[in-house]
């Protein structure tokens, strides 16, 4: 997968896995990593799917309707990529925290839905429920930040609450930062993610 790896100054800090939104690239979220944890190593990945020329991490059937078969396949693909990247760049595979926005947040959530070992924690900016009618693994001890907007036309507050309930039912500790904005990623939301990160890690 096309990606950027930047070695951080502190090898004990969590490695940040950056996952962009639809139409983004592996460069989009680099400024977020600098805000949240400037000493961390960063692995920023570009999605393998193109939708009308726009990179994504998995296919969708329409706005808000995921191609679940492809989502499951791409989730496993990303997990294998992470395993290989840990070997190539010599970082601790068990010390990876995802930061995802929109489509990137959705595949990060899917990683949590599929395995208790893939991510140490996650910062999910404007995620949706990736899969329904799925039994989640034991996520006890996992810390998850969800950033959402009360006026988000893509991820409604109800969607956010449903995702929070599913993760919490699996044992995760979920913090929600709800702002009166839409689907855009605001500086105040990034700052809230930074505060959450430093309070927990």
Q: Which domain range does residue 75 map to?
A: 3-200
Confidence of residue 62 (pLDDT cuts 50, 70, 90): confident
Does the pLDDT at position 189 exceed 90? Answer: yes
pTM for this model (two decimals)? 0.97
Higher-confidence residue: 163 or 65?
A: 163
Calculate mean pLDDT across residues 176-200.
96
Confidence of residue 65 (pLDDT cuts 50, 70, 90): confident
Q: For 70-116, give the DSSP string.
A: HHHHHHHHHHHHHHHHHHHHT--TTSEEEEEETHHHHHHHHHHHH-S
Does the pLDDT at position 114 exceed 90? Answer: yes
| Catalytic residue IDs | 102, 152, 183
Does the pLDDT at position 146 exceed 90? Answer: yes
pLDDT for the residue 64: 78
pLDDT for the residue 135: 94
Calculate mean pLDDT across residues 43-52.
96
CA separation for the pair 75, 104 (Å, rounded): 11
Give residues with Cβ within 8 angstroms of 85, minimum separation 6. Answer: 3, 5, 43, 91
Calculate mean pLDDT across residues 46-68.
93
pLDDT for the residue 182: 94
Q: Are 101 and 122 in contact (CB under 8 A)?
A: no
pLDDT for the residue 63: 80
Q: What is the CATH number of the domain that holds 31?
A: 3.40.50.1820
Q: Are 113 and 90 in contact (CB under 8 A)?
A: no
**Into how many domains does the chain fold?**
1
């Amino acid at each position: 997968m096309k990606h950027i790896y930047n070695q951080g100054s502190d090898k004990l800090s969590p490695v940040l896995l950056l996952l962009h939104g639809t139409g983004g690239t592996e460069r989009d979220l680099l400024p977020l990593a600098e805000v949240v944890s400037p000493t961390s190593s960063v692995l920023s990945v570009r999605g393998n799917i193109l939708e009308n020329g726009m990179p994504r991490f998995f296919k969708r059937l329409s706005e808000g309707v995921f191609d679940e078969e492809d989502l499951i396949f791409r989730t496993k693909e990303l997990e294998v990529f992470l395993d290989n990247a840990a070997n190539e760049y010599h970082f601790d595979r068990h010390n990876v925290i995802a930061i995802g926005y929109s489509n990137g947040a959705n595949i990060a959530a899917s990683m949590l839905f599929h395995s208790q070992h893939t991510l140490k924690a996650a910062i999910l900016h404007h995620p949706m429920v990736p899969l329904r009618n799925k039994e989640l693994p034991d996520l006890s001890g996992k810390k998850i930040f969800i950033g959402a907007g009360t006026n988000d036309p893509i991820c409604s507050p109800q969607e956010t609450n449903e995702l929070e309930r599913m993760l919490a039912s699996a044992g995760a500790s979920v913090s929600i930062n709800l702002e009166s904005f839409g689907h855009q990623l605001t500086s105040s939301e990034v700052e809230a993610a930074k505060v959450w990160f430093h309070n927990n890690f």
